[in-house]
């Protein structure tokens, strides 16, 4: 989104026409590069409205004789893997010195004579496979295909003319080395949708995730893992044998959640072992073998191994001395690496300093090897609990952050729609960055779907923290709005998103109850509600103005979150008024009760409207109940409002 | 109700025909006797369907020459006041020895030749004026006119033939000397009705009360006294100058409530004095003068003076040493009697040992003169807090009981419909009786209207405790049911009233909340509700069966209380189910919510049905809100139900 432009939509000196250019990848290059090239070919069709670009798998001696052979081409390759890149360098047509050896970097250059039989070319050379892949997807974005073209139905821009600019551009390294998401707390919304659309969490689903991540320049995944239906719930590695293989091919580094060590999922264990068995003290050897299989299975796939151990199902470790147990587990896990890979530090590893594990860690009784990444966490509500100390900041394994954009736990889960204040998120993440917690950033994104904007934000920040200055939130919204909806409405949409961000920063929806905003003092409730009302009016106006093909995206990214929030806040305040008026025995009490019920119905109808969009493409995605929290932190199992009063 | 019968509806040896008999009262007898005789004359018309009996005010030398002069007569007179009685005794036609000097006793005798020009006569001779009055009203009841003929619209029985039995009967003395009610907590129901029907609490209203009391053989009244609209609220003595005079004429002993001393009402004071002025320490002389006017004003009227003093508006007495203040007040009040009447003990006096006054009294620091009646009280919920000690039981002023059938105060007011368990009431009152607390029984009857049955019960008991044995509750209900609705339905109605009594003994309506009866354990709620439902079915059946002219009485005395109670309990249980089902997220939650709202509407409709009876005769009488108690003891100002839940 913020990368230097290497594309324009009218010709200029030295520019080359990319429409109908073939896309060339060395057959020996990484599969992920070929997959990205194929996406790029489709994207050209999406933008230019013609057939997909021809993708040519190059090998020595190939001669292109087709009618298009004299046309321009886009050459994509990885330094060290692509023989085309190697040949261009040897012919001094290309110089990759500035990216060579770097992490996920790429260069774009226009070359007049690249290969025999080919015309002029835009050459995208990656420092590594993801450098090349990100080059492809950056080109996709720059010609007009949003990373959210499928997941949020952002219509590709239409361009009959697309040109590569003649002067070279340089991209990377990213600010944060591993940038990824955790699909978590995924029922009922995401799971409901996955079961309907894909049958299970299989590779047909996951390649949609991989592609999205790569378009966002992310590279890392903690896969979905909730116990559930069908029993025992999602297990990335065994639900579809292609999941792990395709992740690697696409270029995604697979890891497992903070409490699932050694590339094994909890559901794998509990599909074969009873409750109570996940106990290192009583079941050490069986668990060790379980770990070893994870290490073996990951052998040919780029992986990031989670170390340590928690109790069953993400609960606390049982036992009298959990610190000693964790230390022993880590030792055993390191021995597994030595056995399987020859060295204890042969593979990337992380140790999640999560919840009570942080206390154990800070007791000093758990020693984590220097090459293992320490993964610190936020407090589940967006404030990072702990930054690396000076000594931790220089360890070879580095440090990272596990950060919640959705959450299941105390005091209350929030997993409905976006309730993140990005101003706060930015502040927290930048602290982490400046304290060297930049090896990994993992974001718990829950059901993924309603978090398009915060995901875009954190991935942009993770790619290049300098792209969004501290006072750059409005500018970020404007840039994203322009990408998704075009220049004309970008200003208005950015204003909406910014006001939304400010309003949710008052309090997350899930924690707003009838007594949250005072209906008696300082007109607090009325003022908050008026802000939402004004925002809803603006959102409706924008939604009316966007083109028909943008309506679905506008509904998902603008209208729905604003309207759902307005209804939510209005309903809680109306419930408060109903209660107050009823206690005052005012005639208006019943009117307020009727309004509350009407708002409650509107909320239901709005979710159903979401589900009906695009003939049910996103059916189930708004299934998360959000009304009716009670004594526990659990999200309600079904929407319910209580406390309504009626006077005679 | 339980008196020996001196009437029958077919002729027998020596019986005399009473239809068209004239009613004869010495013109010099008490006015109340003449008033009772006039009521009796009307009652004969109500029963026999002809013109009212002729009432003849007798004086010496009167000669009756009308066509009816040779007919039978009913002679009513007071021993010592009626010259007719005196003459009959002197002629040895009558012997009143057995009642002479007794309290409120009477004798009935049939005499063949009473006076020149009169035929045979039924002679009712009273030991005192109320003895004669009660004799009249006992005859009214025995010929078929219920004490509730007007207040509960019980239709008079129809008899074309009415005969007095030849053998004499004896009645009295009553078990309790003063038997009365306290019209209290009278807004909004009674006050709303009074304002509509009479404009204010004037003598047109009060003579209806006096007549009812006398028909119930009661003799005592604490008049209505709530502050209210029109400001300052009801003041018996000044609202209508005839109130006090007519009470005396009718034969009602007027007193003032436990916290309104010296025949003055609070509203009298506050109509001329500001809040804060009712303070003996700062305003002694003015208050003393206020007392003196009360004593003067009552001079010619049978009165019972309340002594002592509480704080403003029935609150605690302020000050550091309230006991000393109360003692000084009593001393001053006694001095007033000495000044006005010549002696400190010239008039009947009572000292109400109510609430905190009981603590002051029991400290031993307040000495109450021996001739003053000690009025003990229940705990506001029907359990008598304290009985007279052995020494208190023998004091010349005696002791009495102030007992709540309705109540305003902590923990919760109950002033809607009857929620008294008469089994308990009987047990408590009999304890009082046996411990010699039988000088006065005063019953707080709130709005009066919905308490027809408990009022009847306690007045019957006060008149003669032997009439209702400890296991006689069913029998009482049957007797009353027969009187009000006839023999045929008496058994069924008695069963309904008895089951009602048992059900309200579980818990007063006002204290039944959704969580009172468990909807989870032992089917408690369902079983209670089923009992109410069965009872309602029976009440409906009976209501269908009663004659058209009894429908209004049946609605007021049978159907309404049962139906209102059923709705009340059903609604609370339905609210509980709504909450439980909603928390369980069951589909049935919304059905329960709809049921709750429907029941709430039914309650409103039922009250309106009450108000529409007899073209609005009892409009306002069911205005007391009863749903929506909250943190305070105050009855709700308007019906309101809260806590309703709705699921999506």
Q: What is the pLDDT of residue B62?
A: 75
Contact B646 A647 (CB under 8 A): no
Which residues of chain B are within 8 Å of residue A628 when distances are taken between CB atoms? 582, 585, 647
Segment B114-139, tens digit of pLDDT: 877 778 999 999 999 999 999 999 99
Write the residue in A636, A640, A642 that is nearest to B643 by C-beta.
A642
Q: Enter the ipTM.
A: 0.86
Three state DSSP letters for A575-629: HHHHHHHHHCCCCHHHHHHHHHHHHHHHHHHHHHHHHHHHHHCCCCCCCCCCCCC
B647 and A CB contact within 8 Å = yes
Residue A388 phi, psi (nearest 5): -60, 140
Which residues of chain B are within 8 Å of residue A644 when distances are taken between CB atoms? 593, 642-646
| CA atoms within 13 Å, Cβ hemisphere of A272 | 9
Task: Measure in Å the smallest separation between the Cα of A183 and chain B Cα atoms.
Answer: 27
B580 and A CB contact within 8 Å = no
Q: Is the bond into A491 cis (omega within 30 degrees of 0)?
A: no
B585 and A CB contact within 8 Å = yes
B63 with B116: CB under 8 angstroms? yes
- Closest-approach residue (CA) in chain B for A603: B648
Mean model confidence pLDDT for chain B: 95
Which residues of chain A are within 8 Å of residue B595 when distances are taken between CB atoms? none
- Closest-approach residue (CA) in chain A for B583: A640
Task: Measure in Å the smallest separation between the Cα of A643 and chain B Cα atoms.
Answer: 3
Segment B394-413, tens digit of pLDDT: 999 999 999 999 999 999 99
A636 and B CB contact within 8 Å = yes
N-to-C CA span, chain A: 59
Cα(A546)–Cα(A538) distance, rounded to whole angstroms?
12
A640 and B CB contact within 8 Å = yes
Cα(B312)–Cα(A88) distance, rounded to whole angstroms?
105
Segment B169-183, tens digit of pLDDT: 999 999 999 999 999
Q: Which of A111-120, B94-103, B169-178, B445-454 has the lowest mean pLDDT?
A: A111-120
CB pairs under 8 A between A and B: 79
Cα(B228)–Cα(B28) distance, rounded to whole angstroms?
41
A637 and B CB contact within 8 Å = yes
Cα(B381)–Cα(A471) distance, rounded to whole angstroms?
69
Cα(A355)–Cα(A357) distance, rounded to whole angstroms?
5
Which residues of chain B are within 8 Å of residue A630 when distances are taken between CB atoms? 583
Write the residue in A597, A600, A646 that is nearest to B640 by C-beta.
A646
Proportion of chain B above pLDDT 90, given as a percent: 91
Higher pLDDT, B345 or B117: B345
Cβ within 8 Å of residue A268, ≥6 positions away: A235, A237, A238, A290
Task: Measure in Å the smallest separation between the Cα of B398 and chain A Cα atoms.
Answer: 47
Cα(B196)–Cα(A149) distance, rounded to whole angstroms?
74
Write the residue in B582, B597, B636 that is nearest to A646 by C-beta.
B597
Mean model confidence pLDDT for chain A: 95
Contact B627 A648 (CB under 8 A): yes
Choose, out of A643, A644, A645, the residue to mutate when testing the contact with B (most B CBs < 10 Å): A644
B182 and A CB contact within 8 Å = no
Which residues of chain A are within 8 Å of residue B646 when distances are taken between CB atoms? 597, 600, 640-641, 644
pLDDT above 60 for B627: yes
- For residues B625-647, give the mean pLDDT: 94
Q: Give the dihedral sign, CA A543/A547/A551/A556.
A: negative
Cα(B267)–Cα(B265) distance, rounded to whole angstroms?
5
Contact A637 B585 (CB under 8 A): yes
Segment A33-89, tens digit of pLDDT: 999 999 999 999 999 999 999 999 998 877 665 545 567 999 999 999 999 999 999
Q: What is the pLDDT of residue A349?
A: 98
Contact B645 A640 (CB under 8 A): yes
Residue A62 phi, psi (nearest 5): -65, 140
- Closest-approach residue (CA) in chain B for A596: B646
Order of strands, edge to edge, in the sheet holding A7-8?
A7-8, A163-164, A16-17
Task: Measure in Å the smallest separation between the Cα of A617 and chain B Cα atoms.
Answer: 23
Which residues of chain A are within 8 Å of residue B642 when distances are taken between CB atoms? 579, 582, 643-646
Contact A640 B630 (CB under 8 A): no
A548 and B CB contact within 8 Å = no
Write the residue in A582, A603, A642 that is nearest to B645 by C-beta.
A642
Which residues of chain B are within 8 Å of residue A608 when distances are taken between CB atoms? none
Segment B7-49, tens digit of pLDDT: 999 999 999 999 989 999 999 999 999 999 999 999 999 999 9
Segment B418-435, tens digit of pLDDT: 999 999 999 999 999 999
Contact A638 B627 (CB under 8 A): no
What H or E segment, with its residue span, contains residue B287?
Answer: helix B280-297
A611 and B CB contact within 8 Å = no
Which residues of chain B are within 8 Å of residue A640 when distances are taken between CB atoms? 582-583, 585, 589, 645-648
pLDDT above 90 for A113: no
Q: What is the pLDDT of residue A63?
A: 66
Q: What is the pLDDT of residue B439?
A: 98
Q: What is the pLDDT of residue B115?
A: 79
Task: Measure in Å the smallest separation between the Cα of A533 and chain B Cα atoms.
Answer: 23
pTM confidence score? 0.90
B582 and A CB contact within 8 Å = yes
Segment A467-498, tens digit of pLDDT: 999 999 999 999 999 999 999 999 999 999 99
Task: Measure in Å the smallest separation between the Cα of A39 and chain B Cα atoms.
Answer: 42
Contact B625 A646 (CB under 8 A): no
Contact B583 A640 (CB under 8 A): yes
Cβ within 8 Å of residue B530, ≥6 positions away: none
Task: Measure in Å the smallest separation between the Cα of A416 and chain B Cα atoms.
Answer: 15
Segment A521-530, tens digit of pLDDT: 999 999 999 9
Three state DSSP letters for A268-318: HHHCCCCCCCCCHHHHHHHHHHHHHHHHHHCCCCCEEEECCCCCHHHCCCC
B94 with B86: CB under 8 angstroms? no
Cα(A297)–Cα(A244) distance, rounded to whole angstroms?
9
Task: Measure in Å the smallest separation between the Cα of B604 and chain A Cα atoms.
Answer: 7
pLDDT above 70 for A586: yes
């Amino acid at each position: 989104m913020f990368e230097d432009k290497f594309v324009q939509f009218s010709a200029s000196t030295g520019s080359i026409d990319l429409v109908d250019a073939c896309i060339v990848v060395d057959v020996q290059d990484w599969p992920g590069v070929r997959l990205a090239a194929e996406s790029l070919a489709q994207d050209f069709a999406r933008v230019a409205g013609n057939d997909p670009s021809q993708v040519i798998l190059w090998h020595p001696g190939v001669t292109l004789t087709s009618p298009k052979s004299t046309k321009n081409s886009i050459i994509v390759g990885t330094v060290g893997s692509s023989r085309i890149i190697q040949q261009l360098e040897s012919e001094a047509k290309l110089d990759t010195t500035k990216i060579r050896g770097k992490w996920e970097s790429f260069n774009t250059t226009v070359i007049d004579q690249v290969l025999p039989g080919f015309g002029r070319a835009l050459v995208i050379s990656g420092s590594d496979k993801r450098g090349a892949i990100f080059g492809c997807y950056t080109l996709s974005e720059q010609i007009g295909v949003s990373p959210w073209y499928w997941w949020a139905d952002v219509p590709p821009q239409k361009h009959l003319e697309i040109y590569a600019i003649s002067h070279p551009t340089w991209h990377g390294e990213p600010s944060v080395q591993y940038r990824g998401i955790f699909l978590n707390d995924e029922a009922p919304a995401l799971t409901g949708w996955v079961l309907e659309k894909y049958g299970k969490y299989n590779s047909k689903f996951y390649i949609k995730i991989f592609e999205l991540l790569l378009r966002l320049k992310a590279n890392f995944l903690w896969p979905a893992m909730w116990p559930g239906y069908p029993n025992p719930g999602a297990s990335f590695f065994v639900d579809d044998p292609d999941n792990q293989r395709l992740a690697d091919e696409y270029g995604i580094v697979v890891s497992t959640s903070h409490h699932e060590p050694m590339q094994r999922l909890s559901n794998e264990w509990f599909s074969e072992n009873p409750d109570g068995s996940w106990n290192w003290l009583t079941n050490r050897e069986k668990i060790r073998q379980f770990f070893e299989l994870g290490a073996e299975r990951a052998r040919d796939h780029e992986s990031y191994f989670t170390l340590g151990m928690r109790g069953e199902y993400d609960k606390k470790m049982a036992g009298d001395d959990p610190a000693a147990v964790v230390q022993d587990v880590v030792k055993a896990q390191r021995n597994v690496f030595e056995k399987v890979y020859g060295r204890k530090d042969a593979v990337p590893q992380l140790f999640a300093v999560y919840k009570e594990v942080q206390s154990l860690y800070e007791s000093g009784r758990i020693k984590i090897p220097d090459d293992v990444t320490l993964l610190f966490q936020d407090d589940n509500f967006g404030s990072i609990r702990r930054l690396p100390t000076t000594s931790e900041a220089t360890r070879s394994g580095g440090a990272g952050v596990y950060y919640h954009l959705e959450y299941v736990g105390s005091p209350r889960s929030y997993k409905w729609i976006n309730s993140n204040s990005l101003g706060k998120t930015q502040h927290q993440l930048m602290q982490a960055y400046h304290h060297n917690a930049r090896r990994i950033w993992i974001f718990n994104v829950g059901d993924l779907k309603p978090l398009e904007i915060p995901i875009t934000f954190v991935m942009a920040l993770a790619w290049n923290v300098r792209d969004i200055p501290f006072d750059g939130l409005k500018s970020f919204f404007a840039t994203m709005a322009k990408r998704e909806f075009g220049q004309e409405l970008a200003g208005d949409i950015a204003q909406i998103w910014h006001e939304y961000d400010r309003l949710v920063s008052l309090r997350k929806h899930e924690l707003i109850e009838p007594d949250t905003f005072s209906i008696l003092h300082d007109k607090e409730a009325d003022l908050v509600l008026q802000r939402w009302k004004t925002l809803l009016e603006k959102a409706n106006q924008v939604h009316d103005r966007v083109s028909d093909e943008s309506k679905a995206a506008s509904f998902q990214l603008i209208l729905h979150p604003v309207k759902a929030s307005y209804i939510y806040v209005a309903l809680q305040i109306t419930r408060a008024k109903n209660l107050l008026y009823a206690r005052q025995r005012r005639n208006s009490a019943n009117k307020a009760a009727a309004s509350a019920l009407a708002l409650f119905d509107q909320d239901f109808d709005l979710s159903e409207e979401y589900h009906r969009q695009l003939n049910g493409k996103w059916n189930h995605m708004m299934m998360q109940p959000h009304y009716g929290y009670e004594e526990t932190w659990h999200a309600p199992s079904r929407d319910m409002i209580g406390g309504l009063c009626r006077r005679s």
